[in-house]
Structure 1
Amino acid sequence: MMSKDTIISEASDYVRELFAGNSDGHGADHTMRVYHNAQKIMETYPEADAFIVSLSALLHDADDHKLFNTENNLNARLFMEKNDLPPDTIEQICRTINSVSFSKNRGRSPETLEGKIVQDADRLDAIGAIGIARTFAYGGNAGRSLADSIKHFYDKLLLLKSEMNTEAAKDIAQKRHEYMTGFLEEYYEETGCRHDQVIE
């Protein structure tokens, strides 16, 4: 097996190839931000397995059902098998990846510290200024109206602050949450629209 640093570098290249041309907010740039978010969170949790966290973050969207018609983490597994990772490591990373998705893990916190970190890292990229940008990028690509994209804030984005697992992520999420509520208030003022839900 190659060195762990080399595998991480290879994974970065792999996701750039995998997501080439993606413009709906789930591209390689998103993956790299999740990776860097995970590195930042790990500074507070030195006991976490850095290799598991890093590779899981890089491969977390490699089989996203919105983007790929694969089963059983096929794209992630192909990369890891090609790089001769031990079977138990492959399974651990796949379990971590599978614990990340918001829609598939509502109200459930990952069992491992590594899973908690990667889930938080992904959710942080769904809120704040970048979360706003990604929401409208995805909405435009999917043919959503502005109203539908605004509804997404209430269906998901405004809920994420209270669903973070780690204290490090909670601190970052608070600031990003406040930025989103400020954006919504400005949006309503500029459009003359009002929403019947209270922004907390």
Structure 2
Amino acid sequence: MDEIRAHVQAALGEAGAHGLDHTLRVTSLCEEIGRAEEADMEILITAALFHDIARPLEKETGIPHEEEGARIAADYLRSRGWDERRVEAVAAAVRTHRYRSDRRPGGLEAQILSDADKLDAMGAVGIARTFLRAGEHGGGIPDGTEHIHEKLLNLRERIRTPAAREIAEQRHAFLEEFVGRLEGEMGADQPSAPLRK
């Protein structure tokens, strides 16, 4: 796994809304959820490490990062002699993790990766990443708040595994409290929709 981590780190860089720090948090969540759900940890952790490897390429190529990431992961693992069935399981998990994708995660490991990626967009870390992302795109607090309403507050309903649902409930409650306080402090001129339950 150290070799895979170094390979991913070289592609992603250290920080940012989708940098190595995000990948490592998702990997840690996969470890926690995977143990509880009795997943194949080698497939799961490998997929977690690779899940956003193609993020930096997406802007340049226009290829969705989950598609290119699945290809990169599969090529890398084949070059290391992995069994084709396991290669395909990792690639399928990477290919189906994205919130905006029409593809749904099928196997347990794919579901856990999808859940872990969504969990890292919830709670305190999710809030921090939202405003970091807004800044990376030249936006401000209203842009971040809008993103919370459009995406983050909807993530709880897309969590699939029981262990992840427990974490999601706590993080969702924190999100609701934060948005309520933020909008209260910013006043009536805040250009975002009211908090939706």
Counterpart of 1:83?
80
What is the alpha-carbon distance in structure 2 between the residues aligned to residue 9 and residue 142 of structure 1?
Answer: 32
What is the alpha-carbon distance in structure 2 between the residues aligned to residue 130 and residue 118 of structure 1?
Answer: 17
Counterpart of 1:35?
27
Structure 1 residues 29 and 21: alpha-carbon distance in aligned structure 2, compared to 1, 3 A threshold: closer
Counterpart of 1:49?
40
Q: Which runs of 5+ in 1 are unaligned?
A: 1-7
The alpha-carbon deviation at position 196 of structure 1 amounts to 4.1
Question: Is contact 2:94–2:110 with CA below 8 Å preserved after alignment?
Answer: yes
Deviations 1:116-137 (A, max 9, x none): 1111011100000000000111
Q: Which runs of 5+ in 2 are unaligned?
A: none
The alpha-carbon deviation at position 43 of structure 1 amounts to 2.0
Structure 1 residues 74 and 98: alpha-carbon distance in aligned structure 2, compared to 1, 3 A threshold: closer
What is the alpha-carbon distance in structure 1 between the residues aligned to residue 43 and residue 71 of structure 2?
Answer: 18
Question: Is contact 2:74–2:90 with CA below 8 Å preserved after alignment?
Answer: no
What is the alpha-carbon distance in structure 1 between the residues aligned to residue 111 and residue 3 of structure 2?
Answer: 24
**1:160 pairs with 2:155:** yes
Question: Is contact 1:63–1:74 with CA below 8 Å preserved after alignment?
Answer: no
Counterpart of 2:18?
26
Please give the secondary structure, in 2, of the residue aligned with 1:137. helix
For residue 63 of structure 1, the aligned residue among 54, 60, 65 is 54
What is the alpha-carbon distance in structure 2 between the residues aligned to residue 14 and residue 78 of structure 1?
Answer: 13
Deviations 1:24-47 (A, max 9, x none): x1000100110010010012222x
What is the alpha-carbon distance in structure 2 between the residues aligned to residue 197 and residue 190 of structure 1?
Answer: 13
What is the alpha-carbon distance in structure 2 between the residues aligned to residue 188 and residue 180 of structure 1?
Answer: 12
What is the alpha-carbon distance in structure 2 between the residues aligned to residue 167 and residue 21 of structure 1?
Answer: 31
Counterpart of 1:97?
94
Higher deviation after alignment, 189-198 or 37-46:
189-198
TM-score for the superposition, normalised by structure 2: 0.87
The alpha-carbon deviation at position 66 of structure 1 amounts to 4.1
Q: Return the letter of the residue paired with 2:7.
A: Y
What is the alpha-carbon distance in structure 2 between the residues aligned to residue 80 and residue 56 of structure 1?
Answer: 11
TM-score for the superposition, normalised by structure 1: 0.86
Matches within 5 A, 1:1-16: 8-16=1-9
Question: Is contact 1:109–1:165 with CA below 8 Å preserved after alignment?
Answer: no
Counterpart of 2:187?
192
What is the alpha-carbon distance in structure 1 between the residues aligned to residue 5 and residue 176 of structure 2?
Answer: 33
The alpha-carbon deviation at position 84 of structure 1 amounts to 2.1
What is the alpha-carbon distance in structure 2 between the residues aligned to residue 30 and residue 198 of structure 1?
Answer: 26
Deviations 1:30-65 (A, max 9, x none): 00110010010012222x211111101110111236
